[in-house]
Structure 1
Amino acid sequence: MDFGKQALLIIDYTNDFVAEKGALTTGTPGQQIAPAILSLANQFLDNDNYVIFPTDLHDGVDPYHPETKLFPPHNLKGTWGRQLFGDLETWYQEHRDNDHVYYFDKNRYSAFANTNLDNYLRSRQITNLTVAGVCTDICVLHTAVDAYNLDYRLTVPRQAVASFDQAGHEWALRHFEQTLGANVTD
């Protein structure tokens, strides 16, 4: 069965969202998914598929950005907090020149909002997305909903997503499967 070309979206896996001293950290749940994310990145690249890093970017405290009222400053341009977490930063630096690795800035929860992601995927005939990263119930969720609405097939590996809200995490996993028709894998 042909599933078309595939891409792995590693969403917001940065120090601010994952490291112990991150500004908006998922803490241990986010840190525990690091091996699964690295394994997926290697599998996708080894199989001539794409590894994409939609990464939250803020320039400071923007009084007009809706997140300013909801969250502390995070993923600020040029800071340690915005770097990819742990070994994923090293992986990215080693593979960044590969034309199947794409890192881009996003300024909303969804990786599709205000970005060229849909055009990037369609121009490469990518029809299947595996979504990983943080937070399951915020940026991963909003990206998955937009992907569903754009007719992409979705896979969400349970061991490669995390949140600082366990109830929200579990709800989002059910939503991916029951409402978006995603393949939620163990």
Structure 2
Amino acid sequence: MADAPNLSDDDEQGCHFALLIIDMINGFDFPEGERLRRQAEAAAERIAALAARARAAGVPVIYVNDNFGRWRSDFRRVLEHVRTHTAGAAIAERLAPAERDYFVLKPRHSGFLGTSLEVLLHHLQARCLILTGIAGDLCVLFTAMDAYMRGYELRAPADCIASADQADNRRALELLRESMRVDTAPAESIDLRRES
């Protein structure tokens, strides 16, 4: 009899980093959605490159995504809807999750509020979160605040974060740097090697 597959993800435990991709699987069907989509497209390419590097380094990739008020949904249904019926299809294709990626659906702005994110991060023994996604001045910022209060070290590569308004995005990044000591250097500067 063949061995059953390991579903516990033990090989990813103890990784210093976790990469969070916040709200990038998105239909952009709301006021200012088109403006945000245009900004998000540039960030999506850099997020995809960072995610590929993370996977190659054994760093967990976690999609932290809005449930869009669909309480009976799951991430795969959200992804399929966005890919087939919305203006966010190209971004969803570019950021298509890999088989071993994780998914957390959130009902509000913060990835921590009312979700299993904290339990998952504890299981993975992650101590440093790399925050990417949209919107920098809302969901990324609120997730960063909650992570900061929980004692996580934070990175928020400025080239992987977008908001509908660039000035609002700059202010959010400034707040992350000044109030929470978040490193906002570009994604390519992040060394993803595990700590020994």
TM-score range (shorter-chain normalised) is 0.7 to 0.9
Shift of 1:86: 2.5
Shift of 1:90: 5.9
CA distance in 1, matches of 2:89, 2:146: 25
Which consecutive residues of structure 2, in runs of 5 or more, have no partner in the other structure?
Answer: 1-13, 71-76, 187-196
Q: Work out the number of aligned pairs and report it.
A: 161
Correspondence list, 1:46-57, <5 A: 46-57=56-67
- Secondary structure, counterpart of 2:133 in structure 1: strand
Correspondence list, 1:65-104, <5 A: 79-80=81-82, 85-86=89-90, 88-89=92-93, 92-93=96-97, 95-96=98-99, 98=100, 101-104=101-104
Does the 8 Å CA contact 1:14/1:82 hold for their aligned counterparts? no
- Secondary structure, counterpart of 2:151 in structure 1: coil
Compared CA separation, residues 110 and 185, structure 1 to 2 (3 A): same
Q: Give the equivalent residue in structure 2 for 1:142.
A: 142
- Secondary structure, counterpart of 1:137 in structure 2: coil
Amino acid at match of 1:169: N
CA-to-aligned-CA distance 1:53-95 (integer Å, 9 cap, x gap): 01101246xxxxxxxxxxxxxxx957336897526446535x1
Q: Give the equivalent residue in structure 2 for 1:42.
A: 52
Q: Give the equivalent residue in structure 2 for 1:16.
A: 27
- Secondary structure, counterpart of 1:7 in structure 2: strand
Answer yes or no: is 1:28 the counterpart of 2:38.
Answer: yes
CA distance in 2, matches of 1:86, 1:27: 10
Shift of 1:27: 2.8
Higher strand share: 1
Q: Give the equivalent residue in structure 1 for 2:128.
A: 128
Does the 8 Å CA contact 1:57/1:82 hold for their aligned counterparts? no
CA distance in 2, matches of 1:90, 1:159: 16
CA distance in 1, matches of 2:19, 2:107: 19
TM-score, normalised to structure 2's length?
Answer: 0.74
Q: Give the equivalent residue in structure 2 for 1:154.
A: 154
Amino acid at match of 1:178: E
Shift of 1:168: 1.4
Compared CA separation, residues 46 and 181, structure 1 to 2 (3 A): same
Shift of 1:114: 0.1
Q: Aligned residues: percent identity?
A: 29
